[in-house]
Chain A
């Protein structure tokens, strides 16, 4: 399945300064096709995609989630693709021995088979409404709030991890309370780097 690339508002962030860090991130996610520097939008997409992939690596799902499947890790995009071409970079990568599959879903009903759900900033309010009242289940929900107006340090219902702007870099916020309720284990390595939000303990 090929997602159509849509340019998000992120492209207009004008991130130019952390040139070196970006390059390094690019190499970290194993981007082989360095088909030249096409612009900041593209780089940010790639970094976000790499963040999503690396976060998945520090997450442990309950074992029953994978019962009877074909050894794939399903990454679902909620109604919109916030990663752009970054999706191509991470599709097929292996996480914990499972190949990463990416697909777009239109509503939460279709997310039952998903392991990871990425929610773009524009679709957050839609998601917020859609998930309201639904009980917790082991789905790693990552909200991309790196766009303008994305506030940091907030606990968002239905969102376990939030990517935020942290000056020139991208920061990670983890809602520990919700992740525990969801039955997912997050590695201490990730926690050491992330900001903890929401209710404690």
Chain B
């Protein structure tokens, strides 16, 4: 590639150089010629003038003495001068006096008016002939100018030759010199083109000069370095990006797998979920419809799991569920489906069973599998499960019915005391329906304020004076009559209605008790039952504090009764809530003491005030020595722990005397008074002096 051939920069530079040098040469040649012309011309005239002066001088006497011959002879001496064409002497009147002419007619007939000039292409001068300040005539000299013109033409030719050869030299020089400028630029351009064609940023432009182009090359190379560096960075980034994309793709694949698994499995236990269970059940039923055969669905619900969850926290509950799921999974065959349907509900699908007893065997195995205590976060938990079984096709012709019926059978197990197996029977549906109806009515009755409060008085064992009342919620249904708290309180706990019931009872009992004392501070204690579920709430003291403020009931006269089940757990949250309640001067009593597990150390730690001995122990006093011992022990222990003791269910004198002898502080029971309406208690309070056994 001959880049100089394509270079317009080179050509332009050359053109510029040629134009400049050519212009200068042309100008100087022109100036030379003009100068030459003028100097030649003035030389001609000077020479002519000098000759005229000499000849004129020589002719002055001839003119003065009218000697034409002498004048003519003087003029004829000009014959020696090759360029002199003619000469003439004129008298002062302008008449020709004497002349010399090479050719006739060369001389102007009259005296020219200008001292010098051209006549018929020939130069002439006119000089006056003067002597002693007097003018005696004029002399005219005519020179053959073609002689001078030839000389001038020779000069012109020489000048043109010099001009032409100068131009040739200038062209040669400029074609070499323009490369000084154009070559570095063209090399730089060639490098740039090579780089853009090959995409190779390792190339560098060569620095040929130390001028602006050299600096341009430096800057260009600097730019290349930057581009190269960015290229490298980009490559690095690209590699990193690709790595990231790969990693992300891997993550996504993993996530997809996980999500697919999650869609069909329970995230907590890893067991199949309700959806998978339904699918399997549908498939199994279709198969059985085609080929005949039986299958069983086992419905499992952990007993009192809600309490564990509420009191020990969800993390404990979740870990318990995981372990339970592991133990359950050991009890089923690979062809069976064990699924977690949600919460503490599990289900098992047993396919191709021979007899219903096969299902019962599996159910028993499941119950036994969790009979051993389960250790979770240091707690030794004793879960149990209630199981319901329904069989296809005898208990239902489709999956929905089978599941619903197994659920109903499970509820029956719960009702019958939990930790057992129940096969579905038709009457179960009726019970389930009643239960649902009950729940609906309960919601309604709470909204409409249809509950009422009865009060069971509490008496001092020794003075037999009334020292308090226990508020008991009552539900009288206009259609079905009274509904037992034993029936609707657990239902309210399950349905989440218990909080509103508890608060309603607290608020209304406070108002009613105050009304007995005409608004003055009561001198008896008001005991209100509070569900353990309430002690999950961290704002419990605020709720109660607000109610006390609204009603004006003094906190020191309020006693909250809480069932013993709450104390079996090491829940610092409960301690905190108790503390906040005690700060309101509220007393806390343990209800139904002795029916559940209570650690003595817990009793000591918590800010408790009173223990209430469960009436099941008191009832057997006089019949069962063991229970008598138990009651006696409880009283002693409570006193040792600096707690008051209340005996519940005192129905006869034997029982009264026993607890009195053993130092029980207060008593409740039919012997002194059954639960009664507020008005009745109000009247009782007003006449309390007259109360007697």
Interface residues of A (CB under 8 A from B): 21, 24-25, 27-28, 30, 51, 54, 57-58, 94-96, 169, 172, 187, 189-190, 192-193
Contacts and interface: CB of A to CB of B under 8 A. Distances in A.
B62 A193 contact: yes
B67 interface: yes
B522 to A, nearest CB: 173
Which of B58, B64, B134 gathers most chain A CB within 10 Å? B64
A174 to B, nearest CB: 13
B131 A28 contact: no
A27 B64 CA distance: 10
Nearest to B58: A189
B64 A54 contact: yes
A169 B63 CA distance: 14
Nearest to A22: B66
Q: Which 4 A-B pairs have the closest CB atoms?
A: A189-B61, A54-B64, A25-B66, A57-B132
Given A24-B91, A27-B92, A57-B131, A192 B65 contact: no
Given A24-B91, A58-B61, A193 B67 contact: yes
11 contacts: A21-B66, A25-B66, A27-B91, A28-B92, A51-B65, A57-B131, A58-B61, A187-B61, A189-B61, A192-B61, A193-B67
A21 to B, nearest CB: 5
B401 to A, nearest CB: 172
Interface of B: 58, 60-67, 70, 91-93, 95, 97, 131-134, 136
Contacts of A51: 65
A95 B92 CA distance: 19
Contact of A28 (B58, B64, B133): B64
A197 B91 CA distance: 30
Contact of B60 (A25, A169, A172, A189): A189
Given A189-B61, A193-B61, A28 B66 contact: yes
Contacts of B60: 189
Given A58-B61, A193-B62, 5 more contacts: A24-B95, A94-B133, A95-B132, A189-B60, A190-B61
Nearest to A47: B66
A16 to B, nearest CB: 17
Contact of B70 (A24, A27, A193): A193
A25 B62 CA distance: 12
A54 B93 contact: no
B66 A27 contact: no
B61 A96 contact: no
Nearest to B74: A192
Contacts of A193: 61-62, 65, 67, 70
Nearest to B60: A189
A30 B64 CA distance: 11
B92 A54 contact: no
A54 B91 contact: no
Contacts of A192: 61-62, 70
B70 A54 contact: no
Contacts of A24: 66, 91, 95, 97
Contacts of A21: 66
Contact of B65 (A27, A54, A94, A96): A54
A39 B136 CA distance: 25
A94 B131 CA distance: 12
A136 B536 CA distance: 180
Contacts of A94: 132-133
A27 B93 CA distance: 8
Nearest to B65: A193
Nearest to B63: A28
Contact of A172 (B65, B95, B97, B134): B65
A59 to B, nearest CB: 11
B269 to A, nearest CB: 158
A96 B131 CA distance: 10
Contacts of B95: 24
A152 to B, nearest CB: 16
Contacts of B93: 27
B60 to A, nearest CB: 6
B129 to A, nearest CB: 11
Contacts of B131: 57
A11 B146 CA distance: 55
Contacts of B91: 24, 27-28
A187 B131 CA distance: 12
Nearest to B137: A28
Contacts of B64: 28, 54, 57
A169 to B, nearest CB: 8
Residue of A51, A57, A94, A172 with highest tally of chain B CB at under 10 A: A57
A94 B91 CA distance: 20
Contacts of A189: 58, 60-61
Contact of B132 (A27, A28, A96): A96
A193 B69 CA distance: 10
A169 B132 CA distance: 25
A54 B136 CA distance: 11
A60 to B, nearest CB: 12
Contacts of B132: 57, 94-96
